[in-house]
């Protein structure tokens, strides 16, 4: 059992017969009335985010989850195949459990979140940044740097993201997997 004083971002709690991750929380002590905690909770199985307010000091069940490093091997008809680096155990994960699977490359190390008591896979966390090669983009116009203009570029996984005008085909770029945004060029 945990209380609202134990809340932290990323904590997994049991709420409404489901597992929820605390995305954001804020302790509020109004001038009049009892203190409370305002939270944003993300359902692990559906990905839906809800707002909820807890009275300060209320007890909640904290779920025990483990983050285990796995290496991505390949994709087949059933799903994505991952291998544990120490035990060489292979597991298959369905696509709906992975946020932005188009950024997975063979050999990438990901963290698989597992419910410790039931050994059920909850979701797969990709690395925050991945390095991808730009396979196609239109050439930028010379001297068109007065504004922060972006152009579409196709990366090696087939996904199209927006990049600055100076990025050319064949260059490697760093991409943020959370919001599919360009970060920087990689040498």
Number of domains in the chain: 3
- Name the DSSP class of 126: P
Domain CATH for 176: 2.40.50.140
Residue in 27, 21, 46, 28 with CA at minimum distance from that of residue 113: 21
Is residue 43 domain-shared with residue 22, that is, in the same domain? yes
Q: Which of 62, 81, 112 is the last residue in one of the domains?
A: 62
Is residue 142's pLDDT more than 80? no
Domain CATH for 7: 2.30.30.30
The domain of 170 spans 129-186
Is residue 7 domain-shared with residue 55, that is, in the same domain? yes
Per the model's pLDDT, the better-predicted residue between 45 and 42 turns out to be: 42
Is residue 116 domain-shared with residue 82, that is, in the same domain? yes
146 pLDDT band, cuts 50/70/90, is low
* Beta strand pairing call for 36-43 and 49-55: antiparallel
| Contacts (Cβ under 8 Å, ≥6 apart) of 49 | 23, 40, 41, 42, 43
Is residue 58 domain-shared with residue 78, that is, in the same domain? no
Is residue 51's pLDDT more than 90? yes
Whether this prediction's pTM lies above 0.85 is answered by: no
């Amino acid at each position: 059992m945990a209380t609202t004083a134990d809340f932290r971002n990323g904590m997994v709690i049991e709420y409404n017969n489901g597992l929820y991750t605390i995305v954001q929380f804020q302790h509020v002590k109004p001038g009049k009335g009892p203190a409370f905690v305002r939270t944003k909770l993300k359902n692990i199985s559906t990905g839906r985010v809800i707002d909820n307010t807890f009275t300060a000091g209320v007890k909640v069940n904290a779920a025990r989850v483990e983050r285990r490093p796995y290496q991505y091997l390949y994709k087949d008809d059933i799903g994505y195949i991952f291998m544990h680096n120490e035990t060489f155990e292979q597991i298959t994960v369905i696509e709906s459990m992975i946020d932005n699977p188009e950024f997975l490359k063979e050999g990438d190390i990901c963290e698989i979140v597992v419910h410790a008591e039931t050994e059920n896979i909850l979701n797969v966390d990709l690395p925050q940044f991945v390095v991808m090669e730009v396979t196609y983009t239109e050439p930028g116009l010379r001297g068109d740097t007065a504004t922060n203009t972006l152009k579409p570029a196709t990366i090696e996984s087939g996904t199209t993201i927006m990049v600055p005008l100076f990025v050319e085909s064949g260059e490697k770029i760093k991409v943020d997997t959370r919001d599919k945004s360009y970060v920087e060029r990689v040498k």
